[in-house]
Amino acid sequence: MKPSSFCPDGCPPDDAGAALGTIFRFVQGSPPCRDDMRSWAEQGRNPGQGTECQRCALSVLVDESDVAKARNAIPLFRKWKVAVAEFMPGQGKIKQTGNNEWHHSLWVASSIEATVHEQFQVVPL
């Protein structure tokens, strides 16, 4: 899998697994738009958290029950919508990252980078 053009060499990490099945992401738009799927690297943000490789990934959740945990930990997420997508083989790599067990980094394949937002649908959670 070739990752986003915003990712450095050696990214995603070797221990990232295939992104398969249901993926959840907090978004502002309904339906989600391309801006809802921009990584920190793509936005030019460098808040000092995570590695350069993590900053080119999208922050996602892999379990519906983690939505409440994320909203409790990050109040801003209480105002945002939840979008869900089903990932197929070759569309991305994923790995648990950060201090919260519910947080995962998703490296989207370059082949779907421009249209990944079209896979997500807002759900009432």
Residue range 62-106, pLDDT digits in tens: 999 999 999 999 999 999 999 999 999 999 999 999 889 999 999
Q: Does this model's pTM top 0.85?
A: yes
Tell me the pairing of strands 17-18 and 81-87: unpaired
Classified as helix, coil or strand, 109 is strand
| Structural domain spans, the chain | 17-123
Residue 48 identity: G
pLDDT band at 46 (very low <50, low <70, confident <90, very high): confident
Q: The domain 17-123 is classified under which CATH number: 3.20.170, 1.20.1260, 1.10.3430, 1.10.10?
A: 3.20.170
SS (H, E, C) 26-77: EECCCCCCHHHHCCHHHHCCCCCCCCHHHHCCEEEECCCCHHHHHHHHCHHH
Specify whether the CB–CB gap between 63 and 102 falls below 8 A: yes
